[in-house]
């Protein structure tokens, strides 16, 4: 694991930095850098005349759930592009990319046969397989999610069984490493002849009253074995029966369809071209795709419509930033950040001209933090901005890294992939579930987020000095290793730095 290691040269460099920091002046916020009048008029449009909730109503009811690669997702792409044109963005276009395989949900049902007989509520996890058409009756046995090393050493005991994932004891790995190993375990279970798996997101139990939560398992991974999420109430009862030593039998029938790849999708892109440095780009993004148990209003309808409403507020204000603001509706986020990974790849040649990527993808609550994706060099500058928002909302600034959303590929590119972290206690119920609906979104909260987004983007794009350039790969790799992200990124095939950032003197990761 990572240990910060101070070489003499590094210590000297630190000392030099400290000295120059003492001499340098405090970064300027909107009050001193000349951006305030423009921000004030954008705030007026954003708060007083926001179209965010109207857009969200359209996306929820005219488009609905939109799984990447499905006809509904294509409808969402067309809708997003039409909206961008209608708002008045320039260069509006869809940027095609393709994914390894498509998937369509069919039906999923389960019946408890012993020790009681009753119907259980389940939903298939995305990109997982099917039972035989008539379903299967089988005994349920547990596997300990927190000790998959041990479970993988005893695979024959799962032959012919339905495997119920149960976390027991203390986890010996972090969440992301458990998530990666869970995927490996599912592949081994298939080979070992298990018939189905009851195990939701990351193998954990569902949240909420009688809800199931679908989702992908891993980044761009599919599984032949049927995997279902079960409501926590139903799963809890099965666990009690098993703990009491009772034999539990379940009939399960899951029918899904895979489509051979590659399957085409597209990100939707539109610009407000900068007046002084049109080649320099600040990205504002969120994902347009969703799951299909409901409308995807909170994951990530709120983010997608905030991107559109942000563009709308800036254009209606008549303000034009120094640099280009690029609005992007990513797709394929739910299958493993596929659209944002594709964006960074397709724009590799111009990444050096990118300054940052702002992402809103944490549900329906108000923004509480700007997480700068490892870029601790930008904290003071960003704080000078967030302090100016004090009358709207107190927003913290830190350098946390978020790889579970479209910030990830930008962080890997050395940029501030900025997660506009929200305070969304209900999101654990709504995301990926049948409760992900317009009813869960408060118009006033959405309006506030959809106004803070253009203020942040415009300030970055318009301040006299360029906020950030991508770090060299060596520096990014070193930061990621020091923060302890190496193993997780490696296990999801996202580590592209080879040996870069490795401390030669210690060989430490």
Residue 66: CB minimum distance to Zn ion, A: 12
- Closer CB to Zn ion, residue 299 or residue 485? 299
Closest contact distance (angstroms) between CB of 152 and Zn ion is: 30
CB of residue 241 vs Zn ion: minimum separation in angstroms?
35
The nearest distance, CB 238 to Zn ion, in angstroms, is: 29
- Our measurement of the distance from residue 48's CA atom to the centroid of its chain's CA atoms, rounded to an integer in Å, reads 29
Tokens of 316: 């209606």
Residue with tokens 């098993």: 242
State the minimum distance, in angstroms, from the CB of residue 398 to Zn ion. 21
Structural contact between residues 485 and 501, judged by C-beta atoms closer than 8 angstroms: no
- Distance in Å, CB of 370 to Zn ion, minimum: 18
Query: Residue 300 or 421: which CB sits closer to Zn ion?
Result: 300
Nearest residue (CB) to Zn ion, 45 versus 406: 406
- Is 459 within 8 Å of 39 (Cβ atoms)? yes
Q: Which is nearer to Zn ion, 256 or 424 (CB)?
A: 424
Query: Which residues bind to Zn ion, rule: CB under 5 A?
Result: 299-300, 361
Phi-psi sector, 211: left (phi>0), alpha (psi -120 to 50), beta: beta
> If phi over 0 gives left and psi between -120 and 50 gives alpha, with beta otherwise, what is residue 482?
alpha
In the bound state with Zn ion, the residue whose beta carbon lies nearer, of 235 and 361, is: 361
Phi, psi dihedral angles at 123 (to 5 degrees): -140, 140
Of 37, 65, 54, nearest to 312 (Cα)? 54
> CA–CA distance from 421 to each of 30, 31, 36, 396, 402 (Å)?
22, 25, 24, 9, 9
Q: In this chain, which residue has its C-beta nearest to Zn ion?
A: 300
Instruction: Please report how close the Cβ of residue 308 comes to Zn ion at its closest, in angstroms.
Output: 16
Find residue 82's DSSP bridge partners: none
Closest CA to 72 of 260, 288, 309, 261: 288
Q: Which residues pair with 141 in a beta bridge?
A: 163
Compute the distance between CA of residue 302 and CA of residue 108 in angstroms, rounded to an integer: 29
Location of structure tokens 């994914």: 99
φ and ψ at residue 390, rounded to 5 degrees = -50, -35
Q: Which one, of 153, 221, 230, 238, lies nearest residue 183 by Cα?
A: 221
User: Based on CB atoms, which residue is closest to Zn ion, 122 or 360?
Assistant: 360
**Angle made by CA atoms 457, 463, 466, in degrees to the nearest 5:** 90
Q: How far is the CB of 361 from Zn ion (least distance, A)?
A: 4
Query: Which CB sits closer to Zn ion, 189 or 370?
Result: 370
For 167, 407, 476, 493, the CA distances from 497, given in Å and listed in that order, are 33, 18, 9, 11
Return the percent helix, strand and coil in the chain, to nearest 5: 40, 25, 35
The CA-CA-CA angle for residues 366, 370, 376, to 5°, reads 165
Task: Pick the closer one to Zn ion by CB: 321 or 363.
Answer: 363
- Nearest residue (CB) to Zn ion, 299 versus 462: 299
Q: Between residues 301 and 501, which has the closer beta carbon with respect to Zn ion?
A: 301
CB of 298 to Zn ion, least distance (A): 9
Cis peptide before 102 (omega within 30 of 0): no
Q: How far is the CB of 65 from Zn ion (least distance, A)?
A: 13
């Amino acid at each position: 694991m990572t240990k910060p290691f101070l070489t003499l040269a590094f210590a000297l460099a630190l000392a030099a930095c400290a000295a120059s920091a003492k001499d340098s002046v405090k970064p300027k916020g909107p009050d001193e850098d000349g951006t305030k009048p423009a921000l004030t008029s954008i705030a007026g449009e954003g708060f007083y005349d926001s179209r965010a909730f109207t857009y969200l109503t359209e996306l929820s009811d005219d488009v609905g759930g939109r799984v990447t690669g499905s006809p509904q997702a294509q409808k969402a792409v067309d809708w997003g592009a039409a909206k961008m044109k209608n708002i008045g963005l320039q260069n509006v276009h869809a940027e095609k990319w393709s994914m390894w395989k498509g998937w369509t949900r069919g039906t999923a049902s389960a019946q408890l046969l012993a020790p009681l007989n009753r119907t259980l509520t389940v939903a298939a996890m995305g990109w997982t397989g099917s039972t035989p058409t008539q379903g299967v009756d089988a005994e349920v046995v547990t596997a300990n999610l927190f000790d998959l090393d041990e479970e993988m050493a005893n695979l024959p005991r799962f032959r012919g069984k339905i495997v119920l994932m149960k976390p027991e004891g203390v986890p010996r790995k972090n969440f992301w490493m458990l998530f990666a190993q869970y995927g490996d375990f599912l592949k081994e279970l298939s080979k070992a002849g298990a018939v189905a798996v009851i195990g939701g997101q990351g193998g954990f139990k569902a949240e909420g009253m009688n809800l199931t939560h679908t989702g992908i398992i891993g980044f761009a991974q599919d599984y032949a074995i049927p995997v279902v999420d079960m409501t926590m109430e139903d799963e809890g009862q099965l666990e009690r029966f098993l703990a009491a030593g009772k034999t539990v039998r379940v009939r399960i029938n899951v029918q899904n369809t895979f489509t051979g790849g590659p399957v085409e999708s597209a990100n939707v892109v539109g610009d407000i071209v900068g007046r002084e440095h049109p080649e320099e780009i600040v990205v504002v993004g969120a994902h347009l795709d969703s799951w299909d148990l409901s409308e995807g209003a909170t994951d990530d309808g709120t983010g997608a419509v905030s991107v559109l409403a942000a563009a709308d507020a800036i254009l209606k204000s008549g303000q034009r930033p120094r640099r280009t603001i690029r609005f992007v509706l990513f797709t394929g986020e739910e299958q493993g950040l596929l659209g944002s990974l594709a964006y960074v790849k397709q724009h590799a040649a111009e990444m050096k001209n990118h300054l940052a990527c702002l992402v809103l993808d944490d549900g329906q609550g108000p923004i509480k933090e700007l997480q700068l994706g490892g870029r601790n060099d930008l904290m003071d500058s960003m704080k000078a901005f967030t302090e100016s928002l004090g009358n709207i909302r107190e927003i913290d600034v830190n350098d946390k890294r978020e790889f579970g959303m479209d910030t990830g590929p930008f962080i890997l590119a050395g940029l501030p992939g900025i997660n506009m972290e929200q305070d969304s206690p209900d999101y654990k119920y709504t995301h990926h579930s049948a409760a992900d609906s317009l009813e869960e979104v408060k118009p006033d909260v959405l309006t506030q987020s959809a106004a803070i987004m253009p203020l942040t983007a415009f300030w970055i794009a318009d301040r006299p000095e360029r906020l950030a350039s991508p770090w060299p790969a060596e520096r990014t790799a070193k930061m990621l290793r020091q923060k302890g992200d190496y193993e997780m990124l490696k296990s999801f095939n996202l580590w592209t730095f080879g040996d870069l950032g490795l401390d030669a003197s210690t060989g430490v990761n």
